[in-house]
Structure 1
Amino acid sequence: MKVLERSFVLTPQDILEKYYGYTEFRPGQKKIIDQVLHGQNTLAIMPTGGGKSLCYQVPALLLDGLTLVVSPLISLMKDQVDSLQDSGIKAGFINSSQDWNETRQILTAATNKQLKLLYIAPERLEQSGFMNQLQRLNVSLIAIDEAHCISQWGHDFRKSYLSLSSILPQIKSQPTIIALTATATTQVAQDIMVRLNIPTDNEVKTGFARPNLAFKVVKGQNKNDYILRYVKANQNSAGIIYAATRKKAEQIGSMLKKAGFKAAVYHAGLTEAVKKKNQEDFLFDRLSVIVATNAFGMGIDKSNVRYIIHAQAPGSLEAYYQEAGRAGRDGANAEAILLYSAQDMQIQRLFAENSDADDKHKEVIYLNIQSMVNYVNTQNCLQQFIVRYFGQDMDECNTCSNCTDDRQETDITVTTQKILSCVMRMHQRYGKKLVAQVLAGSKAKRVLELGLNDLSTYGIMRQQKTAQIEELIDYLTASDYLTLPDPQYPTLHLTELGAQILRGQNTVTRKVALIKSNSANPEDSELFEQLRALRYEFAEKQNVPPYVIFSDQTLHEMCRVLPEDFDQMLEIKGVGQQKLAKYGREFLDVLKNYQERSPQARSVSANN
Structure 2
Amino acid sequence: MNSSPPADTTTPLQVLHDVFGYDSFRGDQEKIVEHVSGGGDAVVLMPTGGGKSLCYQIPALVRPGTGVVISPLIALMQNQVDALAAVGVKAAFLNSTLSFEEADAVEADLLAGRLDLVYMAPERLVQKHTLNVLARCRLALFAIDEAHCVSQWGHDFRRDYLGLSVLAERFPEVPRIALTATATEATHAELTERLGMAQARHFVSSFDRPNIQYRIVEKDNARSQLLRLLRAEHDGDSGIVYCLSRRSVEQTAEALRKEGLDALGYHAGLSETQRAERQARFLREDGVVMVATIAFGMGIDKPDVRFVAHLDLPKSVEGYYQETGRAGRDGLPATAWLAYGLNDVVQLRRMIDNGDGSEQHQRGQRAHLDAMLGLCESLTCRRVQILRYFGQDAEPCGNCDNCLTPPTGWDATVAAQKLLSTIVRLNRERDQRFGAGQIIDILRGKPNDRSTASRHQELTVWGIGADLSVTEWRGVIRQLLARNIVESVGDYGTLALGPGAGAVLRGEQELELRRSQPKQRSSGVRGRRSTTTADLSGPEAVLFESLREWRAQEAKEQNVPAYIVFPDATLIAIARERPSSVRGLAGVSGVGAKKLERYGDALVELVTSSN
| TM bucket, shorter chain | 0.7 to 0.9
Q: Contact 1:418–1:457 at 8 Å: present in 2 too?
A: yes
Q: Which range moved further: 414-423 or 82-91?
A: 414-423
Identify the residue that residue 3 of structure 1 maps to in structure 2: none
What one-letter code is carried by the residue in structure 2 that aligns with 1:222?
Answer: N
Moved more, 354-363 or 585-594: 354-363
What's the counterpart of residue 585 of structure 2? 569
CA distance, structure 1, for counterparts of residue 287 and residue 439 of structure 2:
50
**1:470-493 CA distance string (max 9 Å, x none):** 632543676x79699xxxx99734
1:250 Cα offset (Å): 1.0
> 1:459, 1:207 → 2: CA distance?
51
Q: Is the deviation greater in 182-191 or in 352-361?
A: 352-361
Q: Which deviates further from its counterpart, 348-357 or 458-467?
A: 458-467
CA deviations on 1:425-451 (whole Å, 9 max, x unpaired) are 99xxxxx9889988986899xxxxxxx
- Rounded Cα–Cα distance in structure 1 between residues aligned with 2:269 and 2:610: 48
Q: Is the 8 A contact 1:410 1:511 kept in 2?
A: no
Which position in structure 2 is the counterpart of 1:78? 78
Distance across 1 between alignment mates of 2:460 and 2:185: 44
Q: CA deviation at 1:172?
A: 3.8
Q: Give CA deviations for 1:69-109 in whole Å, capped at 9, x if unaligned.
A: 11111233222111111000111112222221111111111
The one-letter amino acid paired with 1:541 is E
Match for 1:520 among 532, 536, 547? Answer: 532
The equivalent residue for 1:49 is 49
- CA–CA distance in 1 between the matches of 2:555 and 2:266? 22
Contact persistence 1:41–1:199 (CA under 8 A):
no
* Local SS of the residue matching 1:204: strand
Give unpaired runs (5+ residues) of structure 2: 1-5, 427-432, 449-456, 488-494
Q: Is the contact made by 1:423 and 1:435 (CA closer than 8 Å) also made in structure 2?
A: no
Q: Work out whether 1:492 is the aligned partner of 2:491.
A: no
Matches within 5 A, 1:116-131: 116-131=116-131
Structure 1 residue 315, shift from structure 2 partner: 1.4
Q: Give the alignment's TM-score, normalised by structure 2.
A: 0.84
Shift in alpha-carbon separation, 1:455–1:36, aligned structure 2, 3 A: farther
Q: How does 1:154-303 map to 2 (within 5 A)?
A: 154-165=154-165, 167-172=166-171, 174-199=173-198, 202-233=201-232, 234-285=234-285, 287-297=287-297, 299-303=299-303
| Conservation of the 8 A alpha-carbon contact between 1:383 and 1:397 | yes
Q: Is residue 2:332 matched to residue 1:332? A: yes
Q: Is the 8 A contact 1:304 1:327 kept in 2?
A: yes
Q: 1:113 maps to what in 2?
A: 113
Q: Does 1:542 align with 2:541?
A: no
Q: CA deviation at 1:273?
A: 2.1
Check whether the contact 1:75–1:299 (CA below 8 A) recurs between aligned residues: no
Letter in 2 for 1:176: P
Counterpart contact for 2:476–2:513, Cα < 8 Å: no
Consecutive unaligned residues in structure 1, runs of 5 or more: 1-5, 427-431, 445-452, 596-608
Q: TM-score, normalised by structure 1?
A: 0.85
Task: Show CA shifts across 1:548-579 (max 9, x none).
Answer: 11111111111111112223212111011111
Range 313-322 or range 84-93, more displaced = 313-322
- How far apart, in 1, do the equivalents of 2:8 and 2:478 lie? 58
Q: Could you tell me which amino acid in structure 1 is paired with residue 163 of structure 2?
A: S
What SS is found at the alignment partner of 1:53? helix
**For residue 132 of structure 1, what is the amino acid of its counterpart?**
N
**Is the Cα–Cα contact under 8 Å of residues 439 and 458 in structure 1 kept in the other structure?**
no
2:610 is paired with a residue of what secondary structure?
Answer: helix
Find the aligned partners of 1:171 and 1:491 in 2 and give their Cα distance. Answer: 56
Tell me which amino acid in the other structure corresponds to 2:559.
Answer: N
* Cα deviations by residue, 1:390-449 (Å, 9 ceiling, x for unpaired): 1112111212122222565544454356678999999xxxxx9889988986899xxxxx
* 1:31-50 paired onto structure 2 within 5 Å: 31-50=31-50
In 2, Cα distance between the equivalents of 1:227 and 1:507? 29
Do the aligned partners of residues 348 and 495 (structure 1) sit closer, same or farther apart at CA in structure 2, a change above 3 Å counting?
closer
Q: What does residue range 445-460 of structure 1 map to in structure 2 within 5 Å? A: none
Confirm whether residue 475 of structure 1 aligns to residue 479 of structure 2: yes
Q: By how many angstroms is 1:360 displaced?
A: 3.2
Stretch of structure 1 that moved more, 534-543 or 32-41: 32-41
- For residues 27 and 433 of structure 1, the distance between their equivalents in structure 2, rounded to whole angstroms, comes to 54
Which AA in structure 1 matches 2:275?
A: K
- Is this contact kept in 1: 2:236–2:530, CA < 8 A? no
Match of 2:607 in 1: 591
Check conservation: 1:373, 1:474, Cα contact below 8 A.
no
CA contact (8 A) 2:122 2:160 kept: yes
SS for the counterpart of 1:372 is: helix
Q: Taking structure 1 as reference, are residues 220 and 111 closer, same or farther at Cα in structure 2, changes over 3 Å only?
A: same
Aligned to 1:308: 308
Of stretches 13-22 and 280-289 in structure 1, the one that deviates more from structure 2 is 280-289
Q: Quick check: 537-546 or 169-178, which moved more?
A: 169-178
Letter of the 1:534 partner, please give it: W
CA distance in 1 between partners of 2:271 and 2:113 (Å): 36
The answer to whether the Cα contact below 8 Å between 2:249 and 2:292 also exists between their aligned partners in 1 is: yes
Q: Show the 5 A alignment for 1:90-105.
A: 90-105=90-105
Over 3 Å counting, the alpha-carbon distance change for 1:21 and 1:434 in structure 2 is same
Whole-angstrom distance in 2 between the partners of 1:399 and 1:590: 36
| Rounded Cα–Cα distance in structure 2 between residues aligned with 1:215 and 1:112 | 49
| Residue 422 to residue 521, structure 1, CA distance change in 2 (3 Å) | same
Tell me which residue corresponds to 1:555: 571
Write the distance in 1 (CA, Å) between the matches of 2:412 and 2:353.
Answer: 35
Name the amino acid aligned to 1:471: G
Structure 1 residues 522-531 or 137-146, which shifts more?
A: 522-531
Structure 2 partner of 1:447: none
- How far apart are the structure 2 equivalents of 1:500 and 1:314? 31
Kindly indicate whether the alpha-carbon contact (under 8 Å) linking 1:437 and 1:466 is maintained by their aligned counterparts in 2: no
CA contact (8 A) 1:215 1:383 kept: yes
The DSSP-based 3-state class of the residue aligned with 1:402 is helix
